Amino acid sequence: MPELPEVETIRRQLDPLVRGRTIRRVEIPDPTVAAPWSAARFRRATSGKRIKQLTRRGKYLRFEFEDGDTLVIHLRMTGRLTHLKRRPSGDSRRHLRLLFHLDDGFIAFHDTRRLGKAFLIPAGESRTYWQKLGPEPLGRSFTPARLAKITAGRDRQIKTLLMDQSAIAGIGNIYADEALFDAGIDPRRPAGKLTQSEITRLHASIRKTLKKAIELEGSSIDSYVNARGERGGFQETFQVHRRQGKPCPRCGHVIEKIKVGGRSTYFCPHCQKL
Ligand SMILES: [Zn+2]
């Protein structure tokens, strides 16, 4: 599933290509992508709009229009957003759910599992809408003190809390595992029991891990590709994620796979203290 680094990679690649461009026409081969809106309503709300800039909040991509409305794309499990010079035809239309015709090129939304979403937030509703998400982990407001406030008094396991989008935005299964390993914290630890020095370490590890992953253009472990249709490189540097049975890169102990909050979780029981 695309997490913050994958969505940010797509944003960085697409932004210069869509800035100042107008959506001339919208094809909606799979109208469920816009549900509960009808295809007609979605088409009316997006056609003719000029794009001011492409931004990101958590795992959401936001096409901000000049009139203040925002088109939001959430890739969920298998969504892909790519920029194309030519209109896709034949095989390249398989799993195509949305196609924006710009005045220069195309933005295609492919999605094999069809869980991704596209929706419009009218100007004026934007602020309220995004308030439900926690802080951006790479933003200025995310400080060790802020993380301490998020974890304080919480019985929930730290990994589950890190993946809760209303606590912190953008972190999913991959980066929660990798950041917790980097910080030397067992994913099952109750969040409220972390010490001050562990919180400081975890804060630094979250930012370091996400920044490194953006540098390497995200992780491709299943279907993720960037806006140019290329795979990311961060999966080559995984320390624990999907490495069960292999030696820990730090201590050589065997990496274990367990379930935390129903999600597959990879960690080193020797380096990550409970
Ligand atoms: Zn280890």
Domains of the chain, by residue range, sit at 4-130, 144-267
Asked if 43 and 26 count as a contact pair (C-beta separation under 8 A), the reply is yes
Ligand 1 centroid vs 261 CA: distance in angstroms? 22
Ligand 1 centroid vs 249 CA: distance in angstroms? 7
Which CATH architecture group holds 144-267? Orthogonal Bundle (1.10)
Identical fold, 4-130 and 144-267:
no
Strands, E assignment, 42-161:
51-57, 60-65, 70-74, 79-84, 96-102, 106-111, 117-121
Q: Would you give the end-to-end CA distance of the chain in angstroms?
A: 27
- pLDDT at site 195: 97
Instruction: Tell me the CATH class for 4-130.
Output: alpha beta
Ligand 1 centroid vs 254 CA: distance in angstroms? 8
Catalytic residues: 2-3, 59, 263
Q: Residue 223 pLDDT more than 90?
A: no
Query: Cα(134)–Cα(131) distance, rounded to whole angstroms?
Result: 8
Query: Cα(27)–Cα(100) distance, rounded to whole angstroms?
Result: 6
Which residue is listed with tokens 């930012």? 207
Helices assigned H by DSSP within 98-244: 126-130, 144-151, 158-162, 173-183, 196-215
Ligand 1 centroid vs 253 CA: distance in angstroms? 5
Question: Which residues are CB-neighbours of 9 under 8 A, at least 6 positions away?
Answer: 214, 217, 218, 226, 227, 232
For helices 196-215 and 144-151, give the axis angle rounded to 10 degrees: 110
* pLDDT 10s digits, 189-219: 999 999 999 999 999 999 999 999 999 999 9
Quick one: pLDDT band at residue 1, thresholds 50, 70, 90?
A: confident
Determine the average pLDDT of the residues in 223-231. Answer: 93
Mean pLDDT of the chain, nearest integer: 97
Q: Which residues of 17-51 are buried (b: 16+ CB within 10 A; e: fewer)?
A: ebeebbbeebbbebeebbeebebeebbebbeebeb
* Cis ω for the linkage preceding 190 (within 30 of 0): no
Determine the average pLDDT of the residues in 249-269. Answer: 98
Query: Cα(129)–Cα(132) distance, rounded to whole angstroms?
Result: 6
* pLDDT 10s digits, 127-174: 999 999 999 999 999 999 999 999 999 999 999 999 999 999 999 999
Q: Which CA distances in Å does 234 have to 45, 112, 220? A: 37, 23, 8
Query: Cα(120)–Cα(122) distance, rounded to whole angstroms?
Result: 6
Quick one: pLDDT band at residue 9, thresholds 50, 70, 90?
A: very high
- For residue 77 the two structure tokens come to 């499990």
